[in-house]
Amino acid sequence: MPRLLSYSEVETALTCFARWDFRYGGRLAGDALTALSTPAILYEGRAWGAGVAAWHAHGGELFASWEAHKALRASLRQDALDMQNRGFPLDVVTLVESEERLGAMLDHHIQTSEPLPNLTRLEAEMEVGIPSRGGRHASNRYRFLCYIDGYTELDGQQWIVEFKLRGSLTPADLLQRQRQPRWYAYALAQMQGFHPTGVIVDERLNLALARPKVNKDGKPSHDKRQRITAEDYIETCRELGDEPRFDVVQSLRERGWQQRVPILFRPDELEEAGHELRDAAKLIRDLDSGELYPLRHATRSTCNGCDFKAICSEPQDTSYVDTLFARTPPKREREAA
């Protein structure tokens, strides 16, 4: 069986060898560890991508919005079922809250975004060979596994489309440097036989719109920090007989709820992506074999968002580890079976 690599696995290894080992390697804790509960950002991000992709794929059709909400709900409920099967069910209240909040965000996106024409959704994962060390043929040992939200044709050119749910919108220059779109483009080129022109990253701020605030005296709030649109603020002011403030309107209109960033690929970028994937496979090989010890890269930015920070210092405390994680064989053993 080939060893499958994902962008998430490689990114984890590049961030911290120990974090990679807890999730995939199993040397520090004796087994690979899987959190009993799925973080909300993961299952909500998947649901968002499914819902938005469905809307764009049905753009202009009568039931496009219905299809989008259907896809969003289906994704959330599948994740809830998966967690239940792992013995950590997502409670109904949390599930309904996620459906309602993401549904309201989806409605806002539909009202304010131009549909991407001719969006083709890729419903299945893509698995492609990684260039061998000699560079002439694909490796027999390593393959790259990925999931692309879709691709679209604009003016006769093919673009990959990625839908992202973010805590904050990503600066365009950082999006330009990220490797994930290029690795996905490499995979798509191998599968479909064409060179994508670039990637369109469609990001949405992970915040739902709120209702405009009304003060105790019945007057509208002029707080610029409200999670509302300028239009909602103006309408509320008019309904309550108050004059909208120019600075509040301007501030609300400057707030970015979403952005769509196109990134062009150079002619040689997909070849470069193949080289990166080849060297990423070398890194995973050395971690799998134990040639590289799973060093801890302890920094504020690394540790704050780490699922394993609670057990990082004492992974041999099995009773504590087992209260937080399910144990599975290391990935190298699962894929060798």
**CA-to-CA dists, residue 266 to 144, 174, 273, angstroms:** 22, 17, 11
Of residues 68, 29, 73, 70, the one with CA closest to residue 52: 68
Tell me which amino acid residue 202 is. D
Residues 6+ apart with CB under 8 A from 257: 108, 112, 204, 205, 207
Domain with CATH 3.90.320.10 in the chain: 120-133+142-206+258-270
Residue 125 — pLDDT band, cuts 50, 70, 90? confident
Of residues 149, 252, 157, the one with CA closest to residue 202: 149
End-to-end CA distance of the chain: 7
Dig out the tokens for 23 from the structure.
């999730």
Tens digits of per-residue pLDDT, 14-58? 999 999 999 999 999 999 998 876 677 778 999 999 999 999 998
**CA-to-CA dists, residue 53 to 104, 169, 178, angstroms:** 16, 19, 21
Tens digits of per-residue pLDDT, 156-187? 888 999 999 998 899 999 999 999 999 999 99
Q: What percent of the chain lies above the pLDDT cut of 70? A: 96
For the question of whether the overall pTM of this predicted structure is more than 0.85, the answer is no
CATH no. of 120-133+142-206+258-270: 3.90.320.10
Residue 336 — pLDDT band, cuts 50, 70, 90? low
Tens digits of per-residue pLDDT, 93-118? 888 899 999 999 999 999 888 888 88
Tens digits of per-residue pLDDT, 249-281? 999 988 888 999 999 998 899 999 999 999 999
Four-point Cα dihedral 68, 71, 73, 75, nearest 10? -140
